Amino acid sequence: MNGTKLPDGGVLYDETEEDDDDAPVSEPVEGIVASVDWNEALKNESGLKGAELIAEFVKHLPNAPGVYRMFNEAADVLYVGKARSLKKRVGNYAQGRVHSNRIARMVRETTHMEFVTTRTETEALLLEANLIKRLRPRFNVLLRDDKSFPYIMITGDHRAPAIFKHRGARARKGDYFGPFASAAAVGRTINSLQRAFLLRTCTDSVFETRTRPCLLYQIKRCSGPCTHEISDEGYAALVSEAKDFLSGRSQNVKAAIARQMAEASEDLDFERAAVYRDRLAALSHVQSHQGINPAGVEEADIFAIHHEGGLSCIQVFFFRTGQNWGNRAYFPKADPQLSPAEVLNAFLAQFYDDKPVPRQILLSETVEEQELLAMAFCEKAGHKVAISVPQRGEKRDLVDHVLANAREAHGRKLAETASQGRLLAGFAETFALPYVPRRVEIYDNSHIMGTNAVGGMVVAGPEGFVKNQYRKFNIKSTDITPGDDFGMMREVMTRRFSRLIKEEGLPDRNGPPATAEDAADAAFPAWPDVILIDGGQGQMTAVRAILDELGIRDVVTAIGVAKGVDREAGRERFFADGKSDFSLPPRDPVLYFIQRMRDEAHRFAIGSHRARRKKEMVRNPLDEISGIGPGRKRKLLQHFGTAKAVSRAGLTDLMAVEGISEAVAKQIYNHFHENRAG
């Protein structure tokens, strides 16, 4: 059993030995003091389960806030909950106070519980959200979010700060502005900001090696700080203006630029006035492309939920600096019997587990824990956070607009899901499968004359393509003849299914979930029901041989999709066990469905191959030298300009570089000397 160190020195135990690579992993919530003494005192050695087991735990629980976890016989986490009083909250389960058959089933399956006490209920709320996102219990409302939000970053560790798009941890010193709903929105905004503030977008290494301004300077997208076309003070003023604009002081910035334009005109310096005019036009372009820009909402996130047909859609709009920075729709996994307010309540805590909290949050529904959420977000953000459900005025109009978007996204999702379900059913009928598959894996290879070979795997299910399950396989075997597609597919299949057997064991093929409720509870399967191979009889022979070696030929249905005559779409031939190869009618919906899956695998494999090829093309020779990390490489490039110049340098010259000792200089010299000699 693994343990997570908590701030007070206590340990929060985790029931898994390894983290799931595909699950979002969050760090424990800072500042929460927790204790697990209860887990030692409350070991289940009686063999009880369900309500009887819970009743035994309740006898020893404190009347204090905390978080509880419920486990089944396989040590899977069924549910994570928080309570103002652990004793009273958990006691409800023992007394049969359940809200649905689903919760009753959860109680029946419980064979163990673990508890963490906290100082306050707000700490319990934050810890609960953290654990739910990390452990993904099947009976909780789950935020299905496999993508992080992009931000705009202005660096703060360089004499000439740069502006970049940023995702992930904020490891680099600088100012971050966002979130934006999409990378495209960030790209458009940065392009306009380049024209408005002339900030650089080049990397530090490129910046340091410039001897004359680049093309961006020529087309008036950069002020040229690399070659001192602008003074450091002048560039700092541009950076300050950009930060003010992104921080919500856009009107002040525009007014200041307008004054400078007027002054330049009065001085008859029309060229400088034209520069200011173009900057004002760029700023107007930024704001005109942000959609709704309400005057009374400076910084807020707006949430609206629409629930119908057992599916919930939560639409969120982001407003920063009085501008709309985009929106995104979420479809959380939740018990259909929960009310929209209950789903939204559970969603909010998870949503802000790893995101900055704005000063204002507007909701379409009044949630039960509104005050508690506001207190927890205040503690997390370090500033006041107001959560409200507006009833009238501009804010109510905004919420209604977000709610209308939620309804539209909900309708599209239901239509797509129904269509996908019909296509999967038709797919099962076409290939005489015993039941409708829940997971289909599609494989393809990509290479150029055998170089930078990559195998790609994409996954489709009842809700379409499942992109967080995609995998790429860099072909590693040196025994494969370049361009041997059969050998590449053998390697991909061997690696994929050997690891799957090791991590998951063989699947229990009992067919699909018996009921819709069981299907809602069931996690997306790790084992595929069907694998589609982009290839004909030769590819299928290689794949079947691997499946036979691993003893899983009867577990996974393999189907080959060969390109038709003259490689024409619509004339594909299909190869499956126990059947002669055949084609489908050109207008068959199942054929289009298969083509779409194959094309997605092809797109993913080619993209992975291009990324690998690009990395190989730009690989620096200094990367091959052991002991030369990013810091020393940067110093060498700053001193000599290029890797080629480093390769020609003598020992004395190399030792003159800061951070390069005699031993390291000899290592660098010998590396290039041996290469030339060879």
- pLDDT surpasses 60 at 411: yes
Q: Is 419 left (phi over 0), alpha (psi -120 to 50) or beta?
A: alpha
pLDDT above 70 (res 61): yes
Q: What pLDDT, on a 0 to 100 scale, did the predictor assign at position 11? A: 36
Token pair, residue 125, equals 């709320």
Rounded CA gap, 9 and 12, in Å? Answer: 10
Average pLDDT over residues 648-669: 86
Whole-number pLDDT of residue 96: 67
* Low-confidence winner among 147-161, 201-215, 247-261 (lowest mean pLDDT): 247-261
Q: What is the pLDDT of residues 426-482, one digit of tens each?
A: 999 999 898 899 999 999 888 776 677 888 999 999 888 988 899 999 888 777 777
Task: Assign 497 a pLDDT band (cuts: 50, 70, 90).
Answer: very high
pLDDT, residue 5, reads: 38
- Weakest mean pLDDT among 42-51, 211-220, 239-248: 42-51
Q: Do domains 300-411 and 433-615 have the same CATH topology?
A: yes
Please give the CATH topology (third level) of the domain spanning 621-677: DNA polymerase; domain 1 (1.10.150)
Per-residue pLDDT, 146: 59
Q: How confident is the model at residue 344 (pLDDT cuts 50, 70, 90)?
A: very high
Whether the per-residue pLDDT at 424 is higher than 60: the answer is yes
Give the CATH number of domain 300-411; options: 3.30.420, 2.50.20, 3.40.50, 3.30.1220: 3.30.420
- Per the CB < 8 A criterion, the answer to whether 101 and 337 are in contact is no
Q: What is the 3-state secondary structure (H, E, C) of 25-68?
A: CCCCCCCCCCECHHHHHCCCCCCCCHHHHHHHHHCCCCCCCEEE
What ranges do the domains of the chain cover?
2-135, 151-288, 300-411, 433-615, 621-677
Mean pLDDT, the chain, whole residue set: 80
- DSSP conformational letter for 622: G
DSSP, collapsed to helix, strand or coil, labels residue 522 as coil
Is pLDDT of 612 > 90?
no
Which tens digit of pLDDT belongs to each residue from 313-328?
Answer: 999 998 887 777 888 8
Which of 97-106, 171-180, 412-421, 606-615 has the weakest average pLDDT?
A: 97-106
What pLDDT is attached to residue 319?
85
**DSSP single-letter state for residue 257:** H
**At residue 335, does pLDDT exceed 60?**
yes
Out of 3.40.1440.10, 3.40.50.11540, 3.30.420.40, 2.60.40.10, select the CATH number for domain 2-135: 3.40.1440.10
Q: Which fold has domain 433-615?
A: Nucleotidyltransferase; domain 5 (3.30.420)
Query: How far does Cα 585 stand from its chain's mean position?
Result: 39
Q: How far is the CA of 95 from the CAs of 22, 90, 484, in angstroms?
A: 37, 9, 65
Whether pLDDT at 97 is above 70: no
Give 267-289 pLDDT, tens digit per residue.
Answer: 777 777 877 777 777 666 665 54
Span 595-601, average pLDDT: 90
Stronger pLDDT, 376 or 321, i.e. the higher one: 376
CA atoms within 13 A on the CB side of 640: 22
Place of tokens 């005057």: 295
User: 122-131, 484-493, 587-596, 636-645: which has the minimum mean pLDDT?
Assistant: 636-645
Burial class of residue 332, CB neighbours in 10 A (0-12, 13-18, 19+)? buried
pLDDT in tens, 383-394: 899 999 999 888
Average the pLDDT over 172-177 and give the result: 87
**Full-model pTM:** 0.67
Q: Are 114 and 68 in contact (CB under 8 A)?
A: yes
Classify strands 451-461 and 464-465 as parallel, antiparallel or unpaired. Answer: antiparallel
Mapped onto helix, strand or coil, the DSSP state of residue 99 is: coil
Sequence-ordered list of residues with C-beta below 8 angstroms from that of 429, at least 6 positions apart, any chain: none
Q: What is the pLDDT of residue 250?
A: 65
Mean pLDDT over residues 508-533, rounded?
71
